[in-house]
């Protein structure tokens, strides 16, 4: 057996686990800066079905990625992973994300032979595995037929997302809110009146603009209506950061172009916040965004071909550790 195929020693495994944890911690640290927060939201548009930890790992290691897959999976899709460029240091080419490692057949068999005690059942653990991004691969020559990768991105002032408005209005109804369209003035495009649970949307907006505004106001509603014990305490400013972040990443995930749109980040808050609070705040953004995206994309009769759904299979195959 060649030396490289030897099983890693206990010490090597411990070092690897330590490196995995350090990488994950570092990925959360990036949320402290305006650029880091925005890079995560931007990256999340493409990886919304991933766990938060994996979204952060991809955003930190390859902010330009719009999809990732393992070496063999890329081959199945008709692409070849490029060789590591010389300028890139060894170990910095592959992207590392968490992947589940379920117990092996032998482990399960052994456990069954030992009496199948539920307290000793072998469990799935997570370790970081190597994946590569769409901008690290080349299409393979014929007869391979590489799957198309270019996602269509819509313009924010367009009307293509009009079919999503009834879906989002239905979500508002589920949350016991009414949505009314009314003419507004100045920079105001929407509001939530928590007394009457009414969401107002500016009639002047395009359909895509209404979708974006609905995402923002729905996030305000969800924060109040579906509060979870792990949610961080929010003051007015941090709530606005959360809902704007949700609107940004949701509209991106739904296909609306978001370049040039910036988040009113709270740099002074983020610098002082405990790492754990930062992570919980990001977790809240991710959960609210997913709730809204799921509602917007749930009706299969709607012909909105958001590109991100096409890559769903690819993405789901590589989920990270469960959300906490
Ligand atoms: Zn607001």
Q: For residue 100, how far is its CA from the centre of ligand 1 (angstroms)?
A: 38
Q: For residue 292, how far is its CA from the centre of ligand 1 (angstroms)?
A: 16
Q: Name, in order, each residue with C-beta under 8 angstroms of 172's C-beta and a sequence gap of 6 or more.
A: 178, 179, 199, 214, 218, 221
Q: For residue 241, how far is its CA from the centre of ligand 1 (angstroms)?
A: 9
Q: For residue 106, how far is its CA from the centre of ligand 1 (angstroms)?
A: 54
pLDDT of residue 152: 57
- What is the distance of C-alpha 6 from the center of its chain? 36
Q: For residue 149, how far is its CA from the centre of ligand 1 (angstroms)?
A: 35
Q: For residue 233, how far is its CA from the centre of ligand 1 (angstroms)?
A: 16
Q: For residue 239, how far is its CA from the centre of ligand 1 (angstroms)?
A: 8
Q: Name, in order, each residue with C-beta under 8 angstroms of 74's C-beta and a sequence gap of 6 or more.
A: 80, 81, 132, 137
pLDDT above 70 for 313? no
Q: For residue 54, how far is its CA from the centre of ligand 1 (angstroms)?
A: 28
The 10s digit of each residue's pLDDT in 137-187 is 999 999 888 988 766 566 667 788 888 899 999 999 999 999 999 999 988
Closest CA to 253 of 315, 181, 189: 315
Q: For residue 41, how far is its CA from the centre of ligand 1 (angstroms)?
A: 18
Q: For residue 205, how far is its CA from the centre of ligand 1 (angstroms)?
A: 16
pLDDT of residue 4: 54
Q: For residue 236, how far is its CA from the centre of ligand 1 (angstroms)?
A: 9
pLDDT above 50 for 203? yes
Q: For residue 220, how far is its CA from the centre of ligand 1 (angstroms)?
A: 7
Q: For residue 237, how far is its CA from the centre of ligand 1 (angstroms)?
A: 9
Q: For residue 51, how far is its CA from the centre of ligand 1 (angstroms)?
A: 26
- Give residue limits of the domains in the chain: 8-139, 164-304
Q: For residue 171, how far is its CA from the centre of ligand 1 (angstroms)?
A: 18
Asked whether 301 and 36 are in contact (CB, 8 A), the reply is no
The 10s digit of each residue's pLDDT in 80-126 is 999 999 998 888 899 999 988 888 899 899 999 998 888 888 888 88
What is the secondary structure of 59-73 as a DSSP string?
HHH-TT-S-EE-HHH
The 10s digit of each residue's pLDDT in 38-83 is 899 989 988 888 999 999 999 999 999 988 999 999 999 999 999 9
pLDDT of residue 136: 95
pLDDT of residue 303: 40
pLDDT above 50 for 322? no
Q: For residue 217, how far is its CA from the centre of ligand 1 (angstroms)?
A: 6
pLDDT above 80 for 304? no
Instruction: Spell out a b/e string for 287-308, using b for 16 or more CB atoms within 10 Å of the CB, else e.
Output: bbbbbbbebbbeeeebebebbb
pLDDT of residue 323: 42
Q: For residue 188, how far is its CA from the centre of ligand 1 (angstroms)?
A: 10
Q: For residue 238, how far is its CA from the centre of ligand 1 (angstroms)?
A: 10
* Cross-strand bridge partners of residue 133: 68
The 10s digit of each residue's pLDDT in 206-223 is 898 899 999 999 999 999
- What is the distance of C-alpha 304 from the center of its chain? 20
> Is the preceding peptide bond at 143 cis, omega within 30 degrees of 0?
yes
Q: For residue 240, how far is its CA from the centre of ligand 1 (angstroms)?
A: 5
Closest CA to 305 of 144, 148, 145, 171: 148
Closest CA to 262 of 283, 247, 272, 277: 247
pLDDT above 80 for 226? yes
The 10s digit of each residue's pLDDT in 239-293 is 999 999 999 888 888 877 766 676 777 778 888 888 899 999 999 999 999 999 9
pLDDT of residue 204: 92
Query: Rounded to whole angstroms, how far apart are CA atoms 132 and 74?
Result: 8
Asked whether 168 and 211 are in contact (CB, 8 A), the reply is yes
pLDDT of residue 311: 36
Q: For residue 23, how far is its CA from the centre of ligand 1 (angstroms)?
A: 34
Q: Count other C-beta atoms under 10 Å from residue 87's C-beta.
A: 6
Q: Which ranges of 235-305 would DSSP assign to H, the alpha helix?
A: 236-253, 267-272, 275-297
Q: For residue 219, how far is its CA from the centre of ligand 1 (angstroms)?
A: 8
What's the pLDDT band for 315 if we cut at 50, 70, 90? very low
Would you mind telling me the total number of residues written for the chain in this entry?
A: 324
- Give just the sign of the alpha carbon dihedral 287, 298, 38, 172: negative
């Amino acid at each position: 057996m060649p030396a490289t195929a030897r099983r890693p020693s206990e010490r090597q495994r411990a070092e690897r686990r330590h490196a995995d944890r350090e990488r994950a911690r570092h990925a959360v640290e990036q949320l402290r800066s305006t650029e880091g927060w925005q890079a995560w939201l931007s990256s999340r548009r493409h990886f919304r079905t991933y766990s938060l930890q994996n979204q952060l790992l991809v955003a930190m290691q390859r902010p330009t990625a719009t999809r990732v897959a393992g070496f063999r999976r890329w081959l199945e899709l008709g692409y070849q992973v490029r060789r590591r460029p010389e300028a890139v240091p060894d170990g910095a080419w592959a992207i590392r994300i968490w992947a589940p490692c379920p117990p092996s057949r032998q482990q399960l068999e052994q456990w069954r032979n030992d009496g199948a005690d539920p307290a000793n059942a072998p469990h799935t653990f997570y370790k970081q595995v190597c994946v590569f991004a769409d901008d690290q691969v080349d299409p393979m020559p014929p007869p391979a037929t590489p799957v198309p990768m270019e996602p269509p991105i819509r313009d924010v002032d367009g009307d293509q997302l009009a079919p999503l408005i009834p879906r989002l209005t239905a979500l508002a109804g589920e949350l016991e809110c009414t949505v009314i369209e009314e003419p507004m003035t100045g920079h105001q495009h929407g509001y939530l009146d928590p007394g009457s649970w009414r969401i107002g949307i500016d009639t002047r907006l395009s359909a895509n603009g209404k979708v974006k505004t609905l995402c923002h106001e729905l996030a305000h509603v969800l924060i109040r209506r579906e509060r979870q014990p792990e949610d961080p305490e929010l003051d007015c400013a941090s709530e606005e950061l959360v809902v704007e972040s949700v609107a940004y990443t949701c509209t991106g995930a739904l296909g609306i172009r978001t370049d040039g749109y910036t988040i009113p980040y709270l740099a002074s808050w983020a610098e002082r916040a405990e790492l754990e609070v930062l992570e919980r705040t990001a977790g809240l953004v991710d959960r609210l965004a997913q709730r809204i995206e799921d509602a917007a994309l749930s009706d299969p009769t709607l012909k909105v071909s958001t590109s991100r759904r096409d890559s769903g299979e690819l993405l789901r195959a590589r989920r990270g550790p469960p959300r906490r």
